[in-house]
Every structure is written in C-alpha cells, then in structure tokens.
Amino acid sequence: MPALNVDLQINDIYIPHLENTARTQIFYGGAGSGKSVFLAQRAVIDVLQGGRNYLICRAAGKYSRKSTWAECLNVIEGAELGHLFKVRIVEQVIECQNGYQLLFSGLDDTQKLKSMRPAKGAISDIWVEEATETGRQDIKELYKRQRGGDPAIPKRLTMSFNPITQTHWIYDEYFKGVGWAEEQTAHREAGISILKTWYIHNRFLTPEDVADLEGERDPYYHQVYTLGNWGVLGNVIFRNWRVRDLAPLRAQFTNRRNGLDFGFSSDPAALVVSHYDRKRKIIYIFDELYEYGLTNDLLAGLVKEKIGSDYVVCDSSEPKSIAELNAHGVRADGAVKGKDSVLHGIQWLQQHTLIIDKACIHTRNELTQFKWKEDKHGKAMRLPLDKNNHLIDALRYAYEADMEAYWLAM
Ligand SMILES: Nc1ncnc2c1ncn2[C@@H]1O[C@H](COP(=O)(O)OP(=O)(O)OP(=O)(O)O)[C@@H](O)[C@H]1O
Ligand SMILES: [Mg+2]
C-alpha cells in the first residue's frame, strides 16, 4: 500500500501494531496508557489508506458517542484531515473521501448492527472498546458478522479494556487460552495478539496524570489502573446482584425509585432509575445516566427524559443544583443523609437482590468494584472505599425513605 503522508503522533509501543494482522487483538492495561487513542489513530489511518472498513462498538451505544466517536474525530481534526472525511452524526458514520468508512454502533442496538453495511467492501475490522462490558456471546456474534469479504484483507477483531477482574470471561477465553503469565507484556501469533500497556507507555500524559496514577493507594486500583495487571477483587461489598435484559419487563416497573448524584468535571452526574419489589426484596435497576460535563439545564433535560414526572432524590450537598432542576420541571428533592447513612444504606442494600439491566454498564462496573477500604495487611475496614461509587450513592438516595422506615421498625 502507498505510504501515507500523515503526521500522527503515535506512542512508540503501538507503532508495530499498525501492521498487526492477527485475527484477534487485545490491547489492555492501565488507565491512560494510550490504548484508545492509538486504536482510533489506527482506524483513521486504515480507512485513509483504503481497503478497510471499521465497525467500532461498545456494549451500550449511548456511551459510544462520548468515547470512540469523539476519539476518532479528535484524531482527524488533530491531524487536520477534516477535509478528507464526511461526518454523518445521525447514522454515526465517518466516511473517507475514498469511500471507506468507520461505522459506530452499540451492541445493544441489534437492529442497527444487523443492517450496517459499509458503502464499499466488507467490514474488515471490528474494534470493541471497553470489551469487559460485553458478554462472550456478543463477541461470538461479531466474529460471525465478519464472514465473507475480500480474502486478501486479513480480518481483525480488536478489543481494548482495563483488566478489572481475573474472573472475567475474557481472561478465561483468551489469556488462559495462550497460557498467559502475569509478568508477560506481549504475546503474538497469527491467531491472537495481546499487548499490555500502562502509563509509562504514554508520553503524552501530564506530570499530574502520572502523579495521580502513581499515587493510587488502594492496592486493587493500583494493580489494575496504575500497573495494568488483572485485578483480584477481595473485600467486595455487593455480591447480591445479577444482570438481565430488563427491557421486556419495563412496563411492569411502576413502583419507581430514582436517585441522583451530582458531578461535573472530575465526577459524572449519575442517575439510577429503578423499580422496587418490596415483598420479594428485589430492586430492579433498569436505566442509568452517567455523564461528565453536564450543566444543570442539560442534566434536567436528560433526567426528565428518563423519569418524566416521577420524584428523584438527590445529593443534598448541592441545594443550588436541586433548585435549578426544580426550576426546569424535575421533581427533585435532597436526601437527608443521617448519621451512619452510608453504612446503614449499604447494609440495607445487602439484604436485597439487585437485578441490573444489561445496558446499565456503569452500574455493573461500580457494583463489581465497590469494596471496603483495606488496612495495610489487606484486611477490610468497616468503611467503603470512596471511589467509583456515584451510582451506588444515587441508589442509596433513591431508597432513603424505604431504609428509614425499615430501621425505624427494627
Ligand atoms: N498519541 C497521542 N497523542 C496525543 N495525546 C495522546 C496520545 N495518546 C494518548 N494521549 C493522551 O493521553 C490520554 C490517555 O490516553 P487514552 O485515553 O488513549 O488511554 P487509555 O489507555 O485508553 O486509557 P483508559 O484505560 O483509561 O481508557 C488521552 O486522553 C490523551 O490526552
Ligand atoms: Mg481508553
């Protein structure tokens, strides 16, 4: 193929992977190691060169737009290549002037996924971002999706993620499959290639980013997000939950409980929408919002879309935000948060079964990782680690009145 004269700043460790043709490719590791940016760069270069079309997906489509979509546009704009691409926001397609395309979809949008065809040629590449959000079956379907096409162009299915827990099916399937040793950082053959990276491999991180990562004190988070090692989760707080497709049950979810935790730049705004089956002690979480950078008027619009005229119980430390939501027609109220409300809330939730809709990716992530603080011997203290718990806080607010009634009756 003709060499392209494109000035992209690529981290050294990834450069050989521009030419990697292994059928299955895994890029995993610590936070901020440059995985997503590199894969976006590779996608843009490949369509520019022609011959390859990409399907770029995440488990839940609603999160694609903020991540891979924005990432690819950044690469195009950063390299001043905008004039070579047409961007179609509604269809979520970025098309190069040579006709090759980047197609974006959520794996939850099965209709769209089935009907997606590139303008010319076949889908040679699939990139699944945050692949730990997917199930084994989702990925199997994607391999099938790539049947056919030009045999001269090797097909690739690429996954990127942080290694959140060694009990994950991806570890079983691919890492055990190649006899992966934890000290290993790369594996390469025709069938599968694995590359582990962490912050030292990304020369574009700021000193503050590096200090944040190096300063992570919780051993689990340090292993996974600083060093990129497969996580071993002990001292997890919630094990009383499971995932289901709740879409078919939605109409029956009339006993609503909604909770909202505010956030803006460093924390997301986090909304939990749920149904309470008090008799059977089951909480169905069937919708969530998890978004950074929302002003209160935008937040109000999104919350109303999800809960309509229902109540939502919010973090009371932001009375101004609550007042603004009210002014925008959201029936929002502050949580009371009495003494020991965090621990009591956790205990109360532990006595229930939580059933989470499969598209509520962030709720699933938080529940997977929410853990007790540990002393220096690794022993759990009676204090949850205050990290990655925005939706869990929202859930506590949502059920505050139910909890109070329960503890009063004790
Ligand atoms: N090639 C690059 N050129 C410019 N900036 C980059 C490049 N690669 C990474 N960065 C910067 O580093 C940040 C982290 O990179 P990236 O998001 O790709 O990491 P990641 O490995 O996907 O992290 P995570 O595991 O948290 O998703 C980016 O937001 C960007 O600011
Ligand atoms: Mg990333």
Mean pLDDT of 185-210: 96
CA–centroid distance, residue 7 to ligand 2 (Å): 22
Best of 11, 37, 159 for a ligand 1 pocket test (most atoms within 8 Å of beta carbon): 37
Classify the C-alpha dihedral 309-312-317-318 as positive or negative. Answer: negative
pTM: predicted TM-score of the whole model, two decimal places? 0.92
Give the residue extent of every domain in the chain.
Answer: 12-226, 241-409
Best of 204, 221, 223, 369 for a ligand 1 pocket test (most atoms within 8 Å of beta carbon): 204
Give the pLDDT confidence score for residue 337 in this predicted structure.
80
Give the pLDDT confidence score for residue 2 in this predicted structure.
46
Number of H helices, E strands in the chain: 13, 18
pLDDT tens track for 16-75: 999 999 999 999 999 999 999 999 999 999 999 999 999 999 998 888 777 899 999 999
- Index of the ligand 1 atom closest to the CA of residue 8: 1
Mean pLDDT of 235-249: 95
Ligand 1, atom 6, lies closest to the CA of 204
Best of 26, 202, 203 for a ligand 1 pocket test (most atoms within 8 Å of beta carbon): 202
Give the pLDDT confidence score for residue 308 in this predicted structure.
96
Give the pLDDT confidence score for residue 5 in this predicted structure.
63
CA dihedral 214, 218, 219, 222 (to 10 degrees): -30
| Alpha helices for 98-239 (secondary structure H) | 110-115, 136-145, 169-170, 207-214, 219-221
**Which residues are registered as beta bridge partners of 159?**
26, 128
Q: What is the mean pLDDT of the chain?
A: 94
Give the pLDDT confidence score for residue 326 in this predicted structure.
97
Whether residue 6 is predicted with pLDDT greater than 80 in this model: the reply is no
CB half-sphere exposure, 22, CA atoms < 13 A = 18
Question: Rounded to whole angstroms, how far apart are CA atoms 390 and 368?
Answer: 13
CA–centroid distance, residue 61 to ligand 1 (Å): 21
Residue percentage of the chain with pLDDT more than 70: 99
Burial class (CB in 10 A: 0-12, 13-18, 19+), 107: buried
Burial class (CB in 10 A: 0-12, 13-18, 19+), 80: exposed
Whether residue 312 is predicted with pLDDT greater than 70 in this model: the reply is yes
Single-letter residue type at 235: N
Classify the C-alpha dihedral 34-40-44-50 as positive or negative. Answer: positive
Pocket of ligand 1 (CB under 6 A): 9-11, 31-37, 162, 202, 204-205
Task: Identify the CATH assignment for 241-409 out of 3.30.420.40, 3.30.1340.30, 3.40.50.620, 3.30.420.280.
Answer: 3.30.420.280
Mean pLDDT of 260-285: 97
CA–centroid distance, residue 263 to ligand 2 (Å): 21
CA of 212, nearest ligand number: 1
Mean pLDDT of 323-331: 97
Lowest mean pLDDT among 10-19, 157-166, 332-341: 332-341
Ligand 1, atom 11, lies closest to the CA of 204
Give the pLDDT confidence score for residue 4 in this predicted structure.
61
Give the pLDDT confidence score for residue 114 in this predicted structure.
85
Give the pLDDT confidence score for residue 1 in this predicted structure.
45
Question: Rounded to whole angstroms, how far apart are CA atoms 215 and 332?
Answer: 37
Characterize the bridge pairing of strands 256-261 and 311-314: parallel
CA of 163, nearest ligand number: 1
Cβ-contact 325, 124 below 8 angstroms: no
Instruction: State which fold the 12-226 domain adopts.
Output: Rossmann fold (3.40.50)
pLDDT tens track for 123-152: 999 999 999 999 999 999 999 988 878 889
CA of 68, nearest ligand number: 2
CA–centroid distance, residue 269 to ligand 1 (Å): 23
Ligand 1, atom 18, lies closest to the CA of 34
**Which residues are registered as beta bridge partners of 57?**
105, 128
Question: Rounded to whole angstroms, how far apart are CA atoms 158 and 51?
Answer: 17
Characterize the bridge pairing of strands 156-161 and 125-129: parallel
Q: Which residue has the higher pLDDT, 235 or 7?
A: 235
Give the pLDDT confidence score for residue 63 in this predicted structure.
83
Q: Which residue has the higher pLDDT, 293 or 408?
A: 293
Ligand 1, atom 1, lies closest to the CA of 10
CA 374 to chain centre: 26
Ligand 1, atom 3, lies closest to the CA of 9
CA of 33, nearest ligand number: 1
Q: Which residue has the higher pLDDT, 74 or 376?
A: 74
CA–centroid distance, residue 37 to ligand 1 (Å): 5
Cβ-contact 138, 107 below 8 angstroms: yes
Tell me whether domains 12-226 and 241-409 share a fold.
Answer: no
Whether residue 278 is predicted with pLDDT greater than 90 in this model: the reply is yes
Whether residue 351 is predicted with pLDDT greater than 60 in this model: the reply is yes
CA of 225, nearest ligand number: 1
Question: Rounded to whole angstroms, how far apart are CA atoms 333 and 361?
Answer: 26
| Alpha helices for 66-135 (secondary structure H) | 70-78, 110-115
Give the pLDDT confidence score for residue 319 in this predicted structure.
95
Q: Which residue has the higher pLDDT, 6 or 405?
A: 405
Ligand 1, atom 16, lies closest to the CA of 34
